[in-house]
Amino acid sequence: MSYENYTNHLRKLADVNYANALLQWDQEVFMPEKGAAARASQQATLSGIAHELATAPVLGGFIKELLADNTLTALQRSNVERTAKEFEKRNKFSTQFVEEMSMAISAGFQAWQVAKKDNNYAIFEPKLQKLIDLKRREVDLAGYDEHPYDALLDDYEPGTTAADVKELFDNFKPGLKTLLDKIFAAEKPDDSFFKQHFNKDTQWDFGIDLLKQMGYDFSAGRQDISAHPFTVSFGSGDVRVTTRVSESDLTEMIWSCIHEGGHALYEQGLPEGDYGLPSGEAVSLAIHESQSRLWENNVGRSRGFWEFNYPMLQSRFGHQLGNVPLDAFYKAFNRVEPSLIRTSADELTYHFHIIIRFELELAMVEGTLSAKDLPEAWNAKYKEYLGIDVPNYSQGVLQDVHWSHGSMGYFSTYSLGSLYAAQFYAQAVSEVPGLESSIATGQTAPLLNWLRDKIHNKGRNLTSRQVCEMVTGKPLDAKYFMDYANKKYGNIYGF
């Protein structure tokens, strides 16, 4: 009976959290500008209610009783133990603090939207500083052993520390830089044909077809337009994606659809009967990102995927692509060069976009970098790591939505996800007969079924490290990514 009461309580908490998520989805997709003030209040109220449910003494009582119950199954005990850890952490924050954070996030997001549109960082700066200050308070309340950043990273990647990420990046960067130096010395593929006019509606229809081919269930989701592509879930039966379409750049829509589709497939594959429980949630943000990056890069940027899809794309854009051979198309969308925008970066220089953000976040959380000085620090790191000058705020420090959401501690999971993706994909190829041949004929179900069995249905009862070792037999190793990248780009660039 106690476990049933515990389950019902967590499901009520999930109801409130998903209702709040629905308001956030609407805020980014449909909400009129004048709705911002009321929406901030609504979300703060729901955040407060959710916090009260998550820290309620009655839940603490259920947890205490269940931890002493020897009749629980292994799955039930894992759920309770994970909830106990979260209960302890959430009780370190007052409802007032949670509501203040929610209000600051709503105000920050609205300011970011205007600031990015107007290329005016001054609009966002005070809102960002407020969020930085609140995040530093959050860190102090949560507590940490080594670095304040660890408390934030634990929200997205439990058990991983700033030192772990820094060590991984430090070991990863030399091999990546060596590969990039070889690529930059080689002749670049021509990608000028991507910069023609591509009708928005035609692109949209093609993106829908790509999502369907991947296995995205439109009876359990939908796609819309937003300033920054994202995926949101209200349970495995309602998982929504957004994309961004540029009529002057075909690649934005393609990679947004495939990337967000990968996230959505994970959410649609979580155990439906475990709604609200840890066993019904994703393992971590890095594992989540491994799913989107696996579909975007290992599948979506492969030649085999386009052997099937390119003729259909050509049929829609015959004037623009009719005379462009598949090989030229494949090399063009795998062109590697430093760029300003993270979301449209190639899969190699992408990691330096992440490293830059990780290092800036560390400084903000430490208190050695203020919002006022952030643009200068941002621009300096882009010059140092990618050798490019940042021309304006919108293409620089204002390009990502994450900090306006208060999402600090998040960015490193993007690179971790890419490394996990390469390792998972290598394992899938070794276990699923004819996998890459199937993909080349438009059959992605064998891959999706493998991911469902190995990762999606596991919920959040394992850590990222445990999932990686369970799936591949080894801990995370950047070697898999570097082997994949060296082979692929050696063939494309001829070295």
Any idea which residues carry the catalytic annotation? 260
Residue 227 amino acid letter: A
Amino acid at 162: A
Count of C-beta atoms within a 10 Å radius of residue 219: 7
Question: Is the C-alpha dihedral spanning 174, 180, 184, 187 positive or negative?
Answer: positive
| Six-digit token string for 194 | 């991507």
d(CA 429, CA 447): 9
Secondary structure of residue 406 in the 3-state scheme: coil
Decide: 40 and 6 in contact? Cβ < 8 Å: no
Using alpha carbons only, how large is the chain's radius of gyration in Å?
22
Q: Which helix (H) or strand (E) holds 483?
A: helix 479-493
Residue 219 DSSP class: G
* Alpha-carbon gap, residue 47 to 83, rounded angstroms: 18
Full 3-state SS string of 277-330: CHHHCCCCHHHHHHHHHHHHHHHCCCHHHHHHHHHHHHHHCHHHHCCCCHHHHH
The CB density around residue 197, as the number of other CB atoms within 10 Å, is 11
